[in-house]
Amino acid sequence: MNCELCGKKVGKPKRVKVEGSVLQVCEQCASYGKEVLEKKKTDTQERINKIKKGRSRSSRGFGDESKTLVMDFPDKIRKARLENDWTQEELANNLNEKKSVVAKLERSDMRPSDSLREKLEKTLDIILLEEIEKISTSTQHKESGLTIGDLIKEE
């Protein structure tokens, strides 16, 4: 096979892109263009990485959205604390939080952050999350009914 640029005989031509067209050239002429194979590989790898990143991000997001804090978390926290025979202060110490934080939670003056909720669940052996579907079934029915109605009207 001959180099498509200089016409010299080459055993192993390189595929390079020179001014927009792909040519099979010798080692020397390869420096005039960009090697094609390598560039393609990089593009594919980048695309795969992007897909992987997107997937893990969206699946994590969905997990968070499908669950919500239970409405009666103040009761759950207080009951679990009393079962352990702890004062608010003792629970706060176990959580590494201030006593006022526990008091606020039990008075429903404050919603726990994700990290605090996880600490409460571990320390008190309770679950403070529930599936959104359980509590908002009626709302969702209403919403989907409206959507279908709107679609029919538009058609």
In the bound complex, what is the minimum distance in angstroms from residue 39's beta carbon to Zn ion? 20
Selected from 1, 2, 6, 55, the binder of Zn ion by CB under 5 A is: 6
Contact 62, 52 (CB under 8 A): no
Q: Is 5 a residue that touches Zn ion (CB under 5 A)?
A: yes
Burial class (CB in 10 A: 0-12, 13-18, 19+), 119: middle
**Cβ proximity to Zn ion, 18 vs 116, nearer residue:** 18
**Cβ proximity to Zn ion, 18 vs 101, nearer residue:** 18
Using the rule CB under 5 A, give the single segment among 5-13, 65-73, 126-134, 147-155 that binds Zn ion.
Answer: 5-13
Q: Is 16 a residue that touches Zn ion (CB under 5 A)?
A: no
Q: Is 29 a residue that touches Zn ion (CB under 5 A)?
A: yes
**Cβ proximity to Zn ion, 3 vs 120, nearer residue:** 3
Selected from 23, 26, 105, 124, the binder of Zn ion by CB under 5 A is: 26
Total of chain residues touching Zn ion, rule CB under 5 A: 7
Q: Is 3 a residue that touches Zn ion (CB under 5 A)?
A: yes
**Interacting residues toward Zn ion by CB under 5 A:** 3, 5-6, 8, 25-26, 29
